[in-house]
């Protein structure tokens, strides 16, 4: 090969559009194209159907459909659906992947909390958005409002008074649900009977605690730097209950207290802090 032939070969090999030439940005563009193709549905993909159901039963229904699929398959019958799933941020419906609406109706037979007559297809251009991951942050800050997720105070309004990020815990202020009669029976030597009903929320006055005064300890909390009356492990102050809870046990997103709830959390005009400080000094003496 002479010099002229070599130059011609190099020119052909490395001209614009040649497969021999690769640039750094080419890999990036190719990767983006692959990522887009992974989430963009094709025309041949099965249809995703949105099916109305009872609120709060979304996950359970998706599981029931999967279990029904497995049970029928073991008997030699196959449900004509491909998948079923629920989304945490969308209430009152589940999503089923199938080719035909008739297949959805057949699969939902026997499930009373799903309304198979209320079905709609999810447009192809909305599928990628529907299945995209969502990151929700439970913003917790002092002074903000939250709802308790579980336990005796489930659904109750709580005000966050301190946050311990290291331990992922928060101190919250609540309207107490304390049965003082049951507590009297407990400390009076009587038999404490378990009650199925949860006590109604109400503030506890100082006079109601008088009979428990010998049992009450006075303790300053590190996280809030407040002085509390502690009775049977319960932190009480100005009629309110203060609890240390896991941040994950609180729902803080979009909490809008009612006017009635806000009135109950209005600071007491009777400043009992000085009284507690005075009592503490007497106990130390």
Number of domains observed in the structure of the chain: 2
pLDDT score recorded for residue 280: 41
Q: Considering the domain boundaries, does residue 262 fall inside one?
A: yes
Q: Which of 95, 17, 7, 22 is nearest to 58 (CA)?
A: 95
Q: Which two tokens stand for residue 121?
A: 């297809």
Q: Would you call 3 helix, strand, or coil by DSSP?
A: helix
Same domain (yes/no): 192, 261: yes
Q: Does 41 map to a domain?
A: no
73 and 183 inside one domain: no
85 and 215, same domain (yes or no): no
- Match 């030699």 to its residue by tokens: 76
Predicted TM-score of the model (pTM): 0.48
Range of the domain at 118: 47-131
Q: Are strands 93-98 and 114-121 parallel, antiparallel or unpaired?
A: unpaired
Residue 281's pLDDT is what?
A: 46
Instruction: For residues 161 and 232, state if they share a domain.
Output: yes
Cα distances from 198 to residues 153, 176, 184, 209, 242, in angstroms, run 9, 11, 17, 20, 18
**Phi/psi of residue 22, each to 5°?**
-130, 135
**Worst-scoring range by mean pLDDT, 122-136, 158-172, 211-225?**
122-136
Give the pLDDT of residue 147. Answer: 94
Q: Answer yes or no: is pLDDT of 47 > 60.
A: yes
Q: Structure tokens of 11?
A: 């020119």
Shared-domain flag, residues 260 and 151: yes
Task: Please answer whether residues 175 and 202 qualify as being in contact, where contact means their C-beta atoms are separated by less than 8 angstroms.
Answer: yes
Residues 125 and 152 in one domain: no
Q: Which residue has the tokens 């599981």?
A: 63
Question: Is position 11 within any domain?
Answer: no
65 and 164 within one domain: no
Structure tokens at 28: 């990036």
Residue 155 belongs to some domain of the structure: yes
Rounded to whole angstroms, the Cα distance separating 104 from 102 reads: 5
Residue 39 lies in a domain: no
Q: What is the pLDDT of residues 224-244, one digit of tens each?
A: 999 999 999 999 999 999 999
| Mean pLDDT for the stretch of residues 127-142 | 69
Based on the fold, state whether residues 95 and 121 are members of the same structural domain. yes
Predicted confidence band of residue 22 (pLDDT cuts 50, 70, 90): low
pLDDT band for position 123 (cuts 50, 70, 90):
confident
Q: Tell me: the pLDDT tens digits for 93-105?
A: 999 998 889 999 9
pLDDT at 137: 56
Q: What is the pLDDT of residue 16?
A: 61
Q: CATH number for the domain including 53?
A: 3.30.70.940
> What confidence category does residue 78 fall into, taking pLDDT thresholds of 50, 70 and 90?
confident
189-205 pLDDT tens trace: 555 555 557 889 999 88
One domain, residues 121 and 206: no
Tell me, what's the pLDDT at 241?
Answer: 94
- Confirm whether 9 is domain-assigned: no
Within-domain flag for 33: no
Contact status, residue 39 vs residue 128, Cβ threshold 8 Å = yes
pLDDT-derived band of residue 170, with 50, 70 and 90 as boundaries? very high
Average model confidence (pLDDT) for the chain? 79
Do 218 and 247 belong together in one domain? yes
Cβ count near 187 (within 10 Å): 14
In a domain, 252, yes or no: yes
Q: Are residues 97 and 194 in the same domain?
A: no
Looking at 75-123, list the stretches that DSSP marks H as alpha helix, in order from N- to C-terminal side.
101-107
Average pLDDT over residues 47-52: 90
Residue finishing a domain among 131, 157, 182: 131
Domain boundary among 100, 131, 162: 131
């Amino acid at each position: 090969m002479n010099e002229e032939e070599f130059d011609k070969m190099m020119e052909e090999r490395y001209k614009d559009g040649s497969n021999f030439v690769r640039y750094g940005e080419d890999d990036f563009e190719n990767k983006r194209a692959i990522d887009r193709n992974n989430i963009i549905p094709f025309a041949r993909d099965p249809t995703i159907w949105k099916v109305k159901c009872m609120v709060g039963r979304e996950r359970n229904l998706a599981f029931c459909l999967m279990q029904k699929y497995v049970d029928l398959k073991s008997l030699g019958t196959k449900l004509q659906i491909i998948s079923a799933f629920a989304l945490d941020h969308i209430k009152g419906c589940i999503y089923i992947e199938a080719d035909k609406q008739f297949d959805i109706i057949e699969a939902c037979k026997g499930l009373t909390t799903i309304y198979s007559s209320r079905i709609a297809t999810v447009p192809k251009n909305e599928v990628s958005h529907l299945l995209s991951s969502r990151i929700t942050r439970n913003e917790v800050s002092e002074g903000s409002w939250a709802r308790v997720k579980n336990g005796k105070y489930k659904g109750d309004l709580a005000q966050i008074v301190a946050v311990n990020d290291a331990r992922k815990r928060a101190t919250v202020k609540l309207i107490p649900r304390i049965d003082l009669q049951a507590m009297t029976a407990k400390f009076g030597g009587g038999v404490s009977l378990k009650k199925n009903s949860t006590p109604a929320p109400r503030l506890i006055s100082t006079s109601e605690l008088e009979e428990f005064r010998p049992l009450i300890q006075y303790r300053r909390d590190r996280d809030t730097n407040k002085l509390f009356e502690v009775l049977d492990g319960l932190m009480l102050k100005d009629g309110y209950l203060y609890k240390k809870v896991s941040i994950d046990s609180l729902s803080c997103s979009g909490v809008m207290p009612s006017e009635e709830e806000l009135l109950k959390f209005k600071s007491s005009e009777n400043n009992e802090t000085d009284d507690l400080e005075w009592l503490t000094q007497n106990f130390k003496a």
